[in-house]
Amino acid sequence: MSRTPLSALIAATLLCATAQASAQQAQPDFPDGPGKQTFVNLCGGCHDINRVRLGYTPEGWRTVMRMMLNFGVPVPQGEIEPLTQYLIANFPERPRPAAVIIAGPVEAAIKLWQVPTPGSRPHDPLATRDGAIWYTGQLSGKLGRLDPKSGEIKEYPLKTPQTGPHGLVEDKDGNIWFTGNHMSLVGKLDPKTGDVTEYKMPDPKAKDPHTIAIDGNGMVWFTAQNANKIATIDPNTMAIKEYALPNAASRPRRLALTPDDAVWYADFSRGYLGRLDLATGEHKEWPSPSGPQSQPYGIVFTKGALWNNESGAKPNTIVRFDPKTEKFQSWAIPGGGDIVRNMSVTRDGNPVTANSLVNQVGLVEVK
């Protein structure tokens, strides 16, 4: 058993936080056309309006519109289609690095299930002890439970509108805990009854609760979105120790722990897989197969290897890295896979995913 003091709660990166005042300032060079005024009026309300310049495929923009409507953006019914067509016409998907598929010794098959609510934006997955796969519907305000054997999916609505559920964890009684990223709360869902209990942040500065975990004593821990550092928390003394990564441009998103007390991370901004030895502070990196723009994101350790995804590659990939041989193997996610933001592991050691932009939950069956 690892002796690392709750280092799974260590924090990663400041994700897309932008002041609303600046977000609403439209730039003067947006193209003219039907739908522009609706776009300028509404699409900067909760994020930087210039993010549209990143672009999507036509189907991607339709999914984004469903997400916006789920989250309560007040687009008049008659303006939904003109706005959608404006976005499709003027902000196509930018070129993305082609996925590099590397053959290797392991056989794996990827299964996918479409979640019931369009534009749900499944964010974090969780494989539970009963064999189910849960997910957070971040923009639908729901938690979902998939039975991989039958394919049946049940969704549970949360209490507070626009909760923005993010991280997930299961307690010893089978309750599902989640972070309410948008409403600054931590919540608990009882799957037997569907009852939801909410706990608001005691400190107004603790916004955007992010990743959640439960330690061996039943204590619930969570992170808020922080700056570019990795740190450990000693649950006995509450002492925090920080580790600075050598490259100032590093932006680790998710983390995985290995039995040798090392922390592995996916460096989203630079396209690297990294390893930090907590005992010595030694640090080592490997370039992700699809290159510096591949945007590795979710990561887990299972079956003796690191498994992560490349969220910037076209199509997205599932990547396996053997720490003994230091070799990669990769698979294309069927249908494109956009975007796996986190991963979990089943009782059998198989990685599970939630694929936000294609509204899917996935299972990697390692043979």
d(Cα 307, Cα 342) in Å, to the nearest integer?
11
> In the chain, how long is the greatest CA-to-CA distance?
61
Amino acid identity for residue 259 in this structure: P
242 forms beta bridges with 231
**Which ranges constitute the DSSP H helices of the chain?**
20-23, 36-42, 58-70, 80-90
Sign of the alpha-carbon dihedral angle for 286, 249, 16, 255:
positive
Total residue length of the chain: 367
d(Cα 314, Cα 292) in Å, to the nearest integer?
13
Q: For the domain made up of 96-366, give the CATH fold.
A: Methylamine Dehydrogenase; Chain H (2.130.10)
CATH architecture designation of domain 20-90: Orthogonal Bundle (1.10)
Residue 77, CA distances (Å) to 41, 45, 67 in order: 15, 18, 15
Q: Which residue is it, tokens 């002041």?
A: 19
Sheet bearing 327-332, strands edge to edge: 296-302, 305-310, 317-322, 327-332
pLDDT values of the chain reduced to their tens digit, one per residue, 367 residues = 344 444 444 444 333 333 333 334 445 589 999 999 999 999 887 778 998 998 999 999 999 999 999 999 999 999 999 999 999 999 999 999 999 999 999 999 999 999 999 999 999 999 999 999 999 999 999 999 999 999 999 999 999 989 999 999 999 999 999 999 899 999 999 999 999 999 998 887 777 888 888 877 787 777 766 756 788 888 788 888 888 888 989 998 899 999 998 999 999 999 999 999 988 989 999 999 999 999 999 999 999 999 999 999 999 999 999 999 999 999 999 999 999 999 999 999 999 999 999 999 999 999 9
Pairing of strands 122-127, 108-114: unpaired
- Domain boundaries of the chain, sorted by first residue: 20-90, 96-366
Contact 100, 287 (CB under 8 A): no
Tell me, what's the pLDDT at 172? 94
d(Cα 213, Cα 197) in Å, to the nearest integer?
17
Residue 161, CA distances (Å) to 19, 113, 155, 189 in order: 21, 26, 15, 15
- In the chain, count of helices (H) and strands (E)? 4, 24
